Amino acid sequence: MSLLGLACLQGGLAAIVSALLLAPRWWWPIHLVFVPALVLAIQLQLPISIYAAGFFILLLTYWSTFRTQVPLFLSNRITVHRLAAWLADDQALKVLDLGSGTGSFALSLAQLRPDWRVTGIESAPGPFVISRWLGRKANNLTLLRADFWPHSLASYDVVYAFLSPVPMPSLWQKARKEMRPGSLLISNSFPIPGITPDKILSINDRRQTQLFVYRIPSGKTHKGATGNTAEVIRF
């Protein structure tokens, strides 16, 4: 068997093992193609400049992911539409998207609700430039290139996050400290450990998205102790 054939066999076995170990599905194709792509690239004798360009593109896209452990996740339009419908209110809401990426959530929400004020904050320069270009005509959309941790959450009615499990405990502490009682922290896919959400919005999309809704309580008591059952709203 050729070296490339062995690499393909290794990739197939790695993908199968990844699936059997219940790894997230997006890891499966990575295991499948990584080693074959590496062997193929060596055999093609590609110029070094291509690798440098690839590294530069990945750097612009993921930036400080190695530190934050928050990859680039994109919210689909179905999720944005369902959440906008659930939040429907005569009140002009101020919404913040933490880690807004290419603007998939912030721009879509701003287009759906022109009476709301939507802000997105993103640290990676690549996705930020794309979001600025896509959202250049949205008058009710503000996009900031910055680390969201120093950014105050005090003025927002709704804070939306599609991050990873790693920052959720710290984000909850930041939200409890800065957000007004009654305002909402909404996390796509990743619940806050030890805190029961007030609502779970179950979206009937391809990936069966779940939005965990936490209403900021008054005082210092944690609302939603472990063991309570959250109301599930299905769309």
Lowest mean pLDDT: which of 28-32, 57-61, 81-85, 123-127?
A: 57-61
Q: Which helix (H) or strand (E) holds 152?
A: none
| pLDDT above 50 for 49 | yes
| pLDDT above 90 for 57 | no
**What is the distance between the alpha carbons of residues 90 and 116, in angstroms, rounded to a whole number?**
10
**What is the distance between the alpha carbons of residues 9 and 3, in angstroms, rounded to a whole number?**
10
What pLDDT score does 192 carry? 95
User: In the predicted model, what is the mean pLDDT of the chain?
Assistant: 88
In percent, the amount of the chain with pLDDT more than 70 equals 91
| pLDDT above 80 for 64 | no
Contact of 212 with 191, CB cutoff 8 Å = yes
Provide the residue type at 11 as one letter: G
In percent, the amount of the chain with pLDDT more than 90 equals 61
Contact of 162 with 105, CB cutoff 8 Å = yes
Lowest mean pLDDT: which of 32-36, 42-46, 164-168, 172-176?
A: 42-46
| pLDDT above 50 for 225 | no
State pLDDT tens for residues 76-108: 899 999 999 999 776 889 999 999 989 999 999
State pLDDT tens for residues 147-173: 999 999 999 999 999 998 989 999 999
| pLDDT above 90 for 144 | yes
What pLDDT score does 227 carry? 52
Name the residue with higher pLDDT: 92 or 120.
Answer: 120
**What is the distance between the alpha carbons of residues 212 and 104, in angstroms, rounded to a whole number?**
19
Contact of 79 with 203, CB cutoff 8 Å = yes
What pLDDT score does 120 carry? 96
Domain boundaries, the chain: 3-68, 77-234
| 99 C-beta neighbours (distance < 10 Å), count | 24
Lowest mean pLDDT: which of 40-44, 62-66, 111-115, 209-213?
A: 62-66
Superfamily for domain range 77-234: Vaccinia Virus protein VP39 (3.40.50.150)
Task: Please report how many Cα atoms fall inside a 13 Å half-sphere around the Cα of residue 197, on the Cβ side.
Answer: 22
Lowest mean pLDDT: which of 23-32, 62-71, 143-152, 184-193?
A: 62-71
Provide the residue type at 41 as one letter: A
What pLDDT score does 221 carry? 55
